[in-house]
Amino acid sequence: MTRNVALILIDTVRKDYFDEYAPRLQAMSDISIDRCRAASSWSVPSHASMFTGDLPSEHDIHTHDRVFDLERSDTFLAGVPHGAYGASSNVYASSTFGFDAIFDEYRDVAPHRIFPAGMDMEQFVQERETDETDGARRFLEFFRTALAHDAPAKTLVNGVVFKLNATMRTAPVPKLIDDGARAIGSQLVELARTRPEPLFLFANFMDAHAPHQHVLGYDRSIHDAPYGWSSLEFETWDRMADRNEVPEREFRRDRRYHRQLYAAAIDYLDRTVTDTIERLRDETAGETTVVVTADHGENLGYDADDGLFDHTSSLTDGLVHVPLEIINPPEGMDAPDDGEYVTHLDLGELIVDIADEDREASVPTREIAPAELIGCGLGVPDDVDDEYWDRMIRAVYRDDRKYEWDSMGNTFVYDVSGTSHQKLRSDGDGVPDWCRDEFDVPIEAYKDKARRESEAVDLDEATVSRLEDLGYV
């Protein structure tokens, strides 16, 4: 016998904020994992590790080569006898970077493109960027193009949403359209309703990813940020690069807004994803298990985050400690014992076991959980130390300790007994040999290899624009 399985990623959601702001998903969950760790700290290597079960230095998909050069046989989907369908609002987990290749059907959803079948408005605008046609003529050109499109009604809606998004970005009013959550939920439910069971469904919800601003539907009691404020105004690099160009009072205010809006986004996702799961239950005839996790967390400038923001160039516990919830698991599946680690490297094994009810399903655990970042110079300003921010970092969790080292020779030992929290115990004293034994290639050797073999990706202007909005370029 087989059952449907849905893997839902709430992108960029750290465990402590999930625990506080996602009560509905926790109430719906049958098994909550307290000690789940991601294999890396940003989208590209983390998604590849979840689907292959390999560390970034093993699957070779990372900062220096961001294309998912994978076949289905390279992933856990080879062991799932289901049709595989996905929808994502994460540009890195999209067809642009080849992530769609392992699915039977995959839908890229941009915030302004709530109907993937309709025309991509950003591409329409980019292709006419140097055109001096005035606004009225441009509108008429769009209207004619929309009517000639294979999906005219959906293209017209995409056009309206695109214009609203652009208008509301800096206006002192709530943004009317979310960052893709509603559209992703609708796409996932449509796939569940129209594709034959058993199904494997995948979705990536990006609403907790920066930049942050108030969106219609956010709980206003969670934050006090003005409607016109956006985290695009929050110069996090001034603090991260020790420039301190922003007055302390202004910095503290913006940091508070940033954290509060991040929390409000998670609360919004909690409501939206819970609704999506309930609709999935209604649309599927067979039993459906839903696995909810995050590809990585987020740094929010706390001391335990080393004062860092976003998810550039670090492996803090705020980034690596992620939620993992299992909703409607097979009969007999129990939560692991306290003190055992669950890693995204074993997520495929978990899903394969769930999909085949003839298998004895359990939550795979490890005594040691490794994590790795090959380097993340994406989004780093030109006037900061590129070598430092692009360094390679490795970490190993065991008991309540995290051992971390990088390609520049730095070593650290942290206490990680809290949630998304690390406290420095020692630095510069080295790490035990057994930590390094978790990795096949020495850190310096792999970093040199990755830099030498770096592959550039030829991106269209629309994709570059979206990456700029997300802070990756």
pLDDT of 62-108, one tens digit each?
Answer: 999 999 999 999 999 999 999 999 999 998 999 989 999 999 999 99
C-beta of residue 290 within 8 angstroms of C-beta of residue 24:
no
330 in any annotated domain: yes
C-beta of residue 468 within 8 angstroms of C-beta of residue 91:
no
431 in any annotated domain: no
pLDDT in tens, 194-248: 999 999 999 999 999 999 999 999 999 999 999 889 998 888 888 888 877 788 9
**324-327 and 288-293 as β-strands: parallel, antiparallel, unpaired?**
antiparallel
State yes or no: pLDDT of 159 exceeds 90.
no
313 in any annotated domain: yes
283 in any annotated domain: yes
State yes or no: pLDDT of 285 exceeds 90.
yes
Q: What is the pLDDT of residue 264?
A: 98
State yes or no: pLDDT of 141 exceeds 60.
yes
Most trustworthy range by pLDDT among 121-130, 141-150, 160-169, 384-393 = 384-393
C-beta of residue 182 within 8 angstroms of C-beta of residue 272:
yes
User: Bridge-partner residues for 427, per DSSP?
Assistant: 412
Residue of 329 and 113 predicted with greater confidence: 329
Q: What is the pLDDT of residue 167?
A: 65
- Tell the residue number behind the tokens 């290597």, with chain if given: 45
119 in any annotated domain: no
Give CA–CA dist 198/160, Å, rounded.
36
C-beta of residue 106 within 8 angstroms of C-beta of residue 72:
no
Average pLDDT for residues 4-30, to the nearest whole number?
Answer: 98
DSSP letter string, 167-222: HHTSSSS-BSS-SSHHHHHHHHHHHHHHSPSSEEEEEEE-TTSSS-B-BTTS-GGG
First to last CA, the chain: 47
State yes or no: pLDDT of 411 exceeds 70.
yes
Mean of all residue pLDDT scores within the chain: 89
State yes or no: pLDDT of 455 exceeds 80.
no
124 in any annotated domain: no
Average pLDDT for residues 267-275, to the nearest whole number?
Answer: 98
Q: What is the pLDDT of residue 144?
A: 82
Tally of domains within the chain: 1
Calculated CA dihedral for residues 371, 373, 379, 380, nearest 10 degrees: 120
Average pLDDT for residues 15-32, to the nearest whole number?
Answer: 98
393 in any annotated domain: no
Residue 118 identity (one-letter amino acid): G
Q: Which two tokens stand for residue 37?
A: 């760790």
Average pLDDT for residues 15-34, to the nearest whole number?
Answer: 98
User: Domain range for residue 254?
Assistant: 4-111+178-369+444-469
State yes or no: pLDDT of 136 exceeds 70.
no
pLDDT classification of 444: cutoffs 50, 70, 90: very high
252 in any annotated domain: yes
pLDDT classification of 456: cutoffs 50, 70, 90: low
CATH of residue 186's domain is: 3.40.720.10
State yes or no: pLDDT of 266 exceeds 80.
yes
